[in-house]
Every structure is written in C-alpha cells, then in structure tokens.
Amino acid sequence: VRRLERFADVRRERRGTTALVPTMGFLHEGHLSLVEAAAAAADTVVVSLFVNPLQFDDPADLDRYPRDPERDAALAGDAGATILFSPPPDEVYPAPPAVRVIPGPPGDGMEGSRRPGHFAGVATVVAKLFAGLQPDRAHFGRKDAQQLVVVSRLAADLSFPVEVVGGPTVREQDGLALSSRNVFLPSADRTAALALSRGLMAAASAAEAGERSGAALEGLVAAEVAGGGILELEYAVLAGAADAARIARLDRPAFLAAAVRVGGLRLIDNVWLLPDGTADRGITLDRPSILYGGGP
Ligand code: PAF
C-alpha cells in the first residue's frame, strides 16, 4: 500500500476507477469489509485516515480517540487498499474553513441533536475528500446510519459525481457492533451494553413477525435497555432511510437506531428494515475482533 499525504499525489497516482473508504483509523473488521467491497468494485482503493477535529463536539473524545497508523496501513493493505491517504491537518484545513457544509434536516435529529455541529463537521470533511480525491465511489458503514443518509444526500444535493455505497455493520460474537471506541469499554459496562444490540435484534424479529408500529419497535429497544438498569437510553427512533426523519410506521425503507450512555461512553447501533419486514442485522464475527490485539 502506498502512503500518501497530499490530495494532488493521490489524484496523480490513481489508475482506472477509484473507490474511497473514509475512516478515522484504528481499523476493525467493519472498516475492512468496506475495503474489501471497494477492492471488488474498483481498480484503485484509497483508504483515508484522518481524525477530523471538526466533527468532535467533545474535546476529550478527540484527545483520547485511539490511533495506530502503522497497524492501520498493514490491515488496509491486506484487505486490498492500494493507497493509504493520511493527510496532515494543514492539508485538509490549510485555514479554518469559513465555508462549511450544513446537512439540514437529515442531520438534525438523533445524533445531530445530541452532538451539536457533528454532522456539519462530517459533511464538510467528506465534501473535501470527495473534491480533493475525486473518487467514483465511496463506501460507508451502515452502523453510522444517519451519517450514511447525510453523506448520500450530500453527494446528491451538491452533485458530487460519487456513488455512495453502504456496507454492513459488523458485530462481535456477543452482538456488540464494532466501534473503535469499544476498546474503552470496561468489561462490566460491556456486558451491560449488550442490551442495546439485544433490543434491536428483538425489534428486528418483531418486524419480521409483522410489527409495523414505530412506537412498538422503539419500545422493544427501550424495554431491553431499561431492563439492566445500567444503560441510559438517549433515543430509540424508527427513521426513514431516504431522509433520516422519524416515521410512525414501517411503511418505507427505514432504520431503527438507538444510542445509549454507559459509564462515560456513548454507543450507537441500528438495524435496517424494509416495509415487508425484512431486517438487515449486519454480520457477526466468528472470532474475537482484531480490535483486541489480533491481526498484524
Ligand atoms: O465514520 C467516520 O469514521 C467519519 O465520520 C468519517 C466518515 C471518516 C468522516 O470523518
């Protein structure tokens, strides 16, 4: 894998069609499944690695965000990346950006209302990656459901000639959705945190069995989360896949998303649902994640 730090170098080096996998590093199997999908679909696969300060609403979260660029380069290369783009901050932000991308309603609820400015930060950096790297496709995880909607609308509404592609949430053996921040979860909190995925799986099963009421599906998540008494539910929302707006019935493609607090951490997770009750729960690993020391 070539390691490049300048937008212009990537534009010069790439050959044929280009797929981009934007990341903030500390890669896990969720990222790697996106890289594999990108490699199957394009000649040049660029994995970007940039911890974007503009999208952190909490400075402590930015400071402690886990980083391991050497390991990321090895993992990305093994998964099929041809270029690892890890720009220094001044390449992405030569000056504090006066012009920013404000995502509008898709970025307002759920994560947007709990993390002020977060989606403007995401949309601004993704627009810069699209403009600077000029990929044909870009792969994002469905784990960050609202982000995927925001980025899809960004590409469509601002006419970026980029196809935005969603990839499955990858889960640990016990159901916990992979996130780089999981390495900070103490084991007692981790056990409690499993109520989040359990609640979502119960809701997915209910949808498959015919439940279409948003309140009922959201309530299944809330009940499971409340049961353990340790997690604090921030929200459980059934939202349309096209615009991330809350819906009362599962009558269009949608996702059921939830956020909890445990200890000092926030965890988010979701399942994607179709009006016929089909549920996409993501995929589950059959071994411990490389987040805990496996891999190179
Ligand atoms: O999902 C992430 O890791 C980030 O939000 C992204 C898309 C790389 C933008 O910084």
pLDDT score, position 229 = 85
| Residue of minimum CA distance from atom 1 in ligand 1 | 23
pLDDT score, position 228 = 84
pLDDT score, position 23 = 98
pLDDT score, position 226 = 96
pTM value is 0.97
| Closest to 258 measured CA to CA, from 119, 160, 145 | 145
Tell how far the Cα of 154 is from the centroid of ligand 1, in angstroms: 14
Tell how far the Cα of 219 is from the centroid of ligand 1, in angstroms: 29
290 three-class SS: helix
Tell how far the Cα of 73 is from the centroid of ligand 1, in angstroms: 17
pLDDT digits (tens, 9 = 90+) for 25-65: 999 999 999 999 999 999 999 999 999 999 998 999 999 99
Tell how far the Cα of 25 is from the centroid of ligand 1, in angstroms: 9
| Residue of minimum CA distance from atom 9 in ligand 1 | 122
Residues in the chain where the model's pLDDT stays below 50: 296
Decide if 211 contacts 205 (C-beta within 8 A): no
H-run or E-run covering 283: strand 283-284
Q: Greatest CA separation found in the chain?
A: 55
| Residue of minimum CA distance from atom 3 in ligand 1 | 23
Q: Give the dihedral sign, CA 194/67/170/167.
A: positive
Annotated catalytic sites, by residue? 31
Distance separating alpha carbons of residues 97 and 107, to the nearest angstrom: 19
pLDDT digits (tens, 9 = 90+) for 142-165: 999 999 999 999 999 999 999 999
pLDDT score, position 293 = 81
pLDDT score, position 294 = 61
Using CB distances shorter than 6 Å, the residues near ligand 1 are: 22-24, 52, 55, 122, 125-126, 144, 147
Atom of ligand 1 nearest to the CA of 144: 1
